[in-house]
Structure 1
Amino acid sequence: MIYKNILQIDDDSDDCELFLEAVEAISSAKYTAIYNSVEALQKLIHQEIVPDVIFLDLNMPIMSGLEFLTEIKKEEKLKEIPVIIFSTSQLDDIIREAKEHGAEDFISKPNNFNDLKKILSRYLFSS
C-alpha cells in the first residue's frame, strides 16, 4: 500500500526529525509528528488529524505503543487505519505481540539515513 498522509507517533523528536527528512527526500506525502501518544489518540478520536497510516514507536512514556495500538483498534472510526510499528525493539516476542494487537507491519529503526529512505520508499507516495 502507498500512503500520502502520514502520522508518526514517537516521543523522540530527533527520530521524528530524521523521519521527516527521509519522507521529504523521497516523497510528497503529508507528514505530521506527535510526541505524546495520549495526545495523538485524542486528536485521532476527535478527527483533528486523519492519516492514512500511522508509524508508531513502542517505547513511550504515559501510554506505550502497544497500549495505543490496543486503544485505536477499539475505535470504530480508527481501527482500519494501518499502524506500522517503527521501533528500536527487535525481539520476536514484541514483534509477534504488536501484530497480535493489530499492527500492519514492524520496522526496526535503521542506523543510517539511506536505509531509512529505502525502507520508507516501500510505503510512501512519491511525487
Structure 2
Amino acid sequence: MTILLIDDDEDDRQLFFEATEEYDNTIKYVGAANAREALLYLNNGDNALPDFIFLDLRMPGLSGEQCLVEIKKDTRLASIPVIIYTTSRDEKESARLKGLGAAHFMSKPVMPDDVYYMVSFVLGEKWS
C-alpha cells in the first residue's frame, strides 16, 4: 500500500509518517510539500500511483481544493480516495469538497496520538 500526503507543514508530515508506520510498517509513504509537487509526482509515469491521498487544504500557491479538482479530472487518478486532512472544521466546506470528489474530510488531530487513530480508521475502512 502507498499513501501520498500533501501538506506544507513538515512537522505534520513527519507526525503523519510516524503514525502510518506505527499502524503498518509495510506502508510506503510519499510526502509532498505542496500541491504542485504532488501533481508532478502523480503525473510522473515512473511513480506508482498511491492507494490513498491525504490532502491539506491550506497551502500556499495551488490550494488543496484546486489540487483535488485536478486529481479528480484526471481519469488515471480519479478513483484514488482523497481524504481532506486539514485544520478546518467547517461543515459547509466539507460538504462542498465531498461534492468535488473527496472521500472523507478529517480535521487534523490536536494530540499526536490521535493521528494514529485517524490513520487506522481511514485505512481500516472498506473501499470499493
- The two structures have a TM-score, normalised by structure 2, of 0.90
For each residue in 1:56-89, what CA deviation from the matched residue of structure 2 results, as whole angstroms up to 9, or x when unmatched? 0000111101000001111111111110000000
User: In the alignment, which residue of structure 2 is the partner of 1:31?
Assistant: 29
The match for 2:42 is 44
The answer to whether the 8 Å contact 1:45/1:78 transfers is no
Task: Report the AA paired with residue 121 of structure 1.
Answer: S
For residues 33 and 42 of structure 1, the distance between their equivalents in structure 2, rounded to whole angstroms, comes to 12
* Equivalent AA in structure 2 for residue 50 of structure 1: L
Q: Does 1:8 align with 2:31?
A: no
CA contact (8 A) 1:34 1:40 kept: yes
Distance apart, 1:46 and its partner CA: 2.2
Q: Give the deviation of 1:10 after TM superposition.
A: 0.3
Q: Residue 66 of structure 2 aligns to a residue in which SS?
A: helix
Aligned residues with identical type, % of pairs? 44
Segment drifting more, 77-86 vs 24-33: 24-33
The CA deviation at 1:49 is: 4.2
The residue identity in structure 1 corresponding to 2:44 is: H
* Other structure's SS at 1:122 match: helix
**Contact 1:7/1:31, CA 8 A, preserved across alignment:** yes
Runs of at least 4 residues off by over 3 Å: none
* Whole-angstrom distance in 2 between the partners of 1:19 and 1:59: 17
Q: Deviation of residue 36 (structure 1)?
A: 1.6
- In structure 2, runs of 5+ residues without a counterpart are none
Q: Deviations over 1:31-64 (max 9, x none)?
A: 1100021121122122324100000000011110
Cα separation, 2, equivalents of 1:10 and 1:124: 18
Amino acid across the alignment from 1:70: V
Counterpart residue type for residue 28 of structure 2: K
| Residues 1:99 and 2:98 aligned together | yes
Equivalent residues of 1:27, 1:124 under 8 A apart: no
Tell me the equivalent position of 2:19: 22
Q: Which amino acid aligns with 2:20?
A: V
Aligned-partner SS, 2:123: coil
